[in-house]
Structure formats: C-alpha cells, structure tokens
Chains A and B, each alone.
Chain A
Amino acid sequence: NAGVTQTPKFRVLKTGQSMTLLCAQDMNHEYMYWYRQDPGMGLRLIHYSVGEGTTAKGEVPDGYNVSRLKKQNFLLGLESAAPSQTSVYFCASSYHTRGGGDYNEQFFGPGTRLTVL
C-alpha cells in the first residue's frame, strides 16, 4: 500500500495563478482532509470530506475549493493564488469507524510545499 500520496511535492506560483493539488489514498478510507501548516504553527483544517461527492468547510476555507469525485481522491484548488497561501499543505485520511473503540487516527501524506510570489 502506498498510503496517502500527494502531487506535486513542490510548486511555485505567481499571484493570481491557479492550481490543483491532488491527494490519493489506497486504504479505502471514507474521510479525507486538507490541512495547511504555516511556520511555527500546527496544522489547520481547510476542507474535509466524509465521502464521495460530499465536502465541508474547515477552519480556514477561504480562497480554496475542493472536490471528491472518487472515494480515493481529494482535490484542493486555488483559483487565484495569493502570497498568504504560501504554506505546506497536508492531505490526510481516516476510516469512518471500525468499531470496538477504535480511534481512527488520521494518516497523513508527505505534504506539498507551495510558494506564491
């Protein structure tokens, strides 16, 4: 199993450009998440999805859109990039429940380092 993979690993954009980050997981997880990590801070949730075709806003959703057309993929889009979106982006996934008190930890991808000039 590859786990959670993210494409690309690095990207530099100019202000106003658009791009899409791709997250893929092969663990058949129902839930998927997009976080951003800024220097000196923990991760903050941008958007998440509880299943194919559904998405919801997290703590810092402005300036981002997401789509989950297939269970294994979760896309994060920046329509008009701004320097404030310079960050490291992490995708994560987790089970809905496996029962028996399982804690359903989130499994993280390796991250995408995005710089917006």
Chain B
Amino acid sequence: AQKITQTQPGMFVQEKEAVTLDCTYDTSDPSYGLFWYKQPSSGEMIFLIYQGSYDQQNATEGRYSLNFQKARKSANLVISASQLGDSAMYFCAMREGPSGSARQLTFGSGTQLTVLP
C-alpha cells in the first residue's frame, strides 16, 4: 500500500486565490511527522511546513497552513493568496518514528501547481 498518496497530479489556481493540495498517509507508528516540500522548475527541494503526529494545532507558516485530520490520516496543504511564484511541484512526505531519528522521508508522487495570472 502507498504510504503517501497525492491524488492530484496537476492543479490550477487563479492568482490571489487559495488552493488546497491533498495528501493522505498510511502508518501504524503512533509517532510520525508530515512535511511539505516545494520543488520549482529549477529543481531544488524547499521545505515549507511540518506537522507532528502529537501536535494539537494545525501548523502554519506564513501563507502556508496544514489541515491535519489525524483520524482521516490526511495532511492537506493550504496556500492562501496564491502568487505566480507558487507555481511548482509540491511533495508531501512522512517520517515514521520520533523526531530526531534518522528515518527516511517517504514521498508522495507530487502535485504540479500552476498559478494563473
């Protein structure tokens, strides 16, 4: 079974509007972390936001927020007020095990976001 599922291969959003990128995960480990990374066309991987499995509140970082629904095992990324520079591939990733452990990140297949002017 896929550990990280991103069901939207491509998404379009109008500039200045909000967009939600979906991510569902599968793990039996009670301690885990969820990450979102952005990969622009230049290729580098840019860390955006993190949610720990024990965190009580949804994570926020500027225009990024993470809609964490633990019972549904979903960790959707919300980008508010989209900008042209947000056009990129977005990856959801999971670390199984506690923070500080050298555990691999398991990545989803990504969502290509295009922001329209």
Interface residues of A, Cβ cutoff 8 Å to B: 30-31, 33, 40-45, 48-50, 56, 58-59, 88, 90, 92, 94-97, 101-111
Contacts and interface: CB of A to CB of B under 8 A. Distances in A.
Contact of A103 (B43, B52, B104, B106): B52
B104 A45 contact: yes
A45 B106 CA distance: 8
A111 B44 contact: yes
B50 interface: yes
Interface of B: 4, 33, 35, 37, 43-45, 47, 50, 52, 91, 93, 99-100, 102, 104-110
Given A103-B50, A105-B47, A43 B99 contact: no
B88 to A, nearest CB: 14
* CB-CB nearest 8 A-B residue pairs: A42-B107, A97-B100, A108-B45, A45-B104, A103-B50, A50-B102, A31-B102, A105-B47
A30 B109 CA distance: 28
Contacts of B107: 41-44
A102 to B, nearest CB: 6
Contacts of B106: 42
A56 B99 CA distance: 18
Given A42-B91, A88-B43, A105-B35, A59 B102 contact: no
A58 B91 CA distance: 19
Nearest to A9: B43
A92 B44 CA distance: 11
Contact of B108 (A42, A94, A108): A42
A97 B99 contact: yes
